Chain A
Amino acid sequence: MPPALTTRALVKRYGRTTALAGVDLEIAPGELVGLLGPNGAGKSTLTKIVCGIVRSSGGEAKVCGARAGSRSARAAIGYLAELFRFPDWLSAEEVLVLHQRLASSRGGADERRDLLGLVGLTDARRVRVSAMSKGMQQRLGVAQALVGRPRLLLLDEPTSALDPAGRRTVRELLERLREREIAVLLNSHLLSEVELVCDRVAILSHGRLVAAGAMNELTRSRGLEVETSAGVRLIEDVGRAQVPQLVRELVAAGEDVFSVRLVRSTLEEAFLELTGSDAA
């Protein structure tokens, strides 16, 4: 199976602004990748090129082997824009019907029931968009993006407008997507959220990918936090392998050891380090 997404030296210029300065990114089928970056880093631009609503200025982007923007590429994606709205006179069910038609989905009523259930809108299927809270609209947006069984789901800041409970719902939903083997590109500037659900993280800054990898590759060991009768202290530059030796030494020195904990830098620290001052 070809990767869900491949970009090679992807460039986008808006007049004099360079939004993307050559981005190489790959997402395997079924993989959940978080795209992080400060505001203006180019996250939305990358997503929009992949779903074909913005034209790239150079390089290439492929969705399941098809050129991004082509009909078959668009048939393979589901997209939730950062700012979106559905006609407010449609009900949740009608929004899905519209998108089923546009996506030529044969899922019918079963697909609609399944998706509304997945996002917790089963009881709201007849509720009009105009009567929905922001959170309900956001969840409807996710259901809409899943119409037609996409291979790649592009979510641009899906939770930035949600309250903590709404965020949690979306997070749980992403977990459930794993079972469906849908690859996800999750744009966010909310690190904790990405940290909690993503297999892999890519960090974008000024249109360049400054880091990409699994969570434990991006965060690094900061040392060992030890609690003894003398108090809590951080011992730097020691790894897991040195722990038994260290504890023996402490005990030999007459200290009572209460706890030992390996400390890693958080994603936030890695992020701030990599993106520099512009994250402020």
Chain B
Amino acid sequence: MNAALVAVYAFRETLRRRVFLAVLVLTTAFVALYWLGARFVFSKTSGFSGNPVVDENVVRGASVFGLALFATYFLGCVLAIFLTLGAIRGEAERGLLQPLVARPVGRSSLIGGRLLAAVLVCVPYVVVVYAIVLAITRHTLHWAPDRQLEPMLALMLAVTIIAALSLLGSVFLAPIANGITVFMLLGIGMVAGLLGQIGVVMKIHSLERIAEASSWIAPFEALYQRSLFALTAETSGVTKTVLSLGPFGGPQAGPSQLWLWSLGYLALVTAAVLAAFARLDL
């Protein structure tokens, strides 16, 4: 009840901050760019593989849509981070938090409300952008991913985890330091993921270990990999091999328990935020 109240006010605050306008404009620009790019790719590519066994439509579709997934993931994360980076320390420094915390509202309601507000913005955002780029891909490239729901669910969970991590950081760090830290974490996760892909393709075991470890430490990255993997999950043969050499390498399905672990990870991060905030002197 109180968490919902806090969420409503946090949500209205974001609406006020013109964040939505900026996001709307930039997302429209991205979607337009994607649409142009996809049309361009469709009209200018045919017979590029020189191999009749390779399904060029799949290679083209999966590569271009892979790019769209990356952009959706990245924009969703940017939104998640900016909505939460100053939620605790930042707002306490501005004096906004103290009047609320002194009220007979559990601190957990405050955290729950803030997380809810962020998730209610960035998860629908990911869903909408995903749906739009999927429609564009179907229309212009005449291709659709093998699994259509899974990439979306994976990105939804990934941005939720990023929001929770940024909220955790906001208990300890000033807003700018927190923003930098979470972006770095995102970047490191990406590098580890790419190293892992190289390792798998080139059969380098130590790199594969890194990829494995990173999917436990940074499940948001593993979820993103999973979303890429799901695009061509049922594709096989030469086409699959060609795809795995492409710009997005051979995305990994990740551990079989990825979904469970990601939910557990989210629960752990949320518990850590609650514990840290409970002992914070304001």
Contact = CB atoms under 8 A, between A and B. Distances in A.
Chains A and B are bound partners: yes
Interface in A97-121: 98-99, 101-104
A141 B13 CA distance: 20
B104 A81 contact: no
Interface residues of A, number: 28
Given A48-B282, A55-B281, A102-B5, A85 B95 contact: yes
A84 B95 contact: yes
Contacts of B96: 84-87
Contact of A53 (B5, B102, B104): B102
A81 B2 contact: no
B282 A103 contact: no
A74 B102 contact: yes
Contacts of A77: 102
Contacts of A187: none
- In the A-B complex, the 10 residue pairs with the smallest Cβ-Cβ separation, listed nearest first, are A102-B103, A79-B102, A74-B104, A85-B95, A81-B98, A53-B282, A83-B95, A75-B104, A54-B281, A84-B95
Interface string A215-249: 00000000000000000000000000000000000
Nearest to A50: B102
A144 interface: yes
Interface in A122-156: 141, 144
Given A48-B282, A54-B282, 4 more contacts: A53-B98, A55-B281, A74-B103, A86-B96
B281 A144 contact: no
A204 to B, nearest CB: 18
B104 A144 contact: no
B281 A81 contact: no
B95 A53 contact: no
A52 interface: yes
B104 A71 contact: yes
Contacts of A101: 5
Contacts of B94: 85
Nearest to B5: A101
A84 B103 contact: no
A51 interface: yes
B102 A52 contact: yes
Contacts of B282: 48, 53-54
Interface in B60-104: 94-96, 98-104
Instruction: Give the one of B94, B98, B106 with max A CB within 10 A.
Output: B98
Interface string A238-263: 00000000000000000000000000
Contacts of A52: 101-102
Contacts of B100: 102
A48 B281 contact: yes
Contacts of B279: 55
Interface residues of B, number: 21
B99 A86 contact: yes
27 contacts: A14-B281, A48-B281, A48-B282, A51-B102, A52-B101, A55-B279, A55-B281, A71-B106, A74-B103, A74-B104, A79-B98, A79-B99, A79-B102, A81-B95, A81-B98, A81-B99, A81-B102, A83-B98, A84-B98, A84-B99, A89-B13, A98-B9, A99-B103, A102-B2, A102-B100, A103-B104, A141-B99
B99 A99 contact: yes
Given A48-B281, A83-B95, A53 B13 contact: no
Contacts of A87: 9, 13, 96
Interface in B101-131: 101-106
B93 to A, nearest CB: 9
Nearest to A145: B99
Contact of B281 (A51, A53, A85): A53
A27 to B, nearest CB: 17
Contacts of A81: 95, 98-99, 102
Contacts of A79: 98-99, 102
A3 to B, nearest CB: 20
A144 B98 CA distance: 12
A79 B95 CA distance: 13
Contacts of B103: 74, 99, 102-103
B21 to A, nearest CB: 15
Q: Could you say which of B12, B94, B106, B281 has the most chain A C-beta atoms within 10 Å of its C-beta?
A: B281
B13 A102 contact: no
Nearest to B103: A102
Interface in A38-71: 48, 51-55, 71
B16 interface: yes
Contacts of A48: 281-282
A104 B2 CA distance: 10
A72 B104 CA distance: 7
A48 B102 CA distance: 9
A36 B45 CA distance: 80
Contacts of B281: 14, 48, 53-55
A99 B101 CA distance: 11
A22 B256 CA distance: 56
B104 A104 contact: yes
A89 B95 contact: no
B70 to A, nearest CB: 35
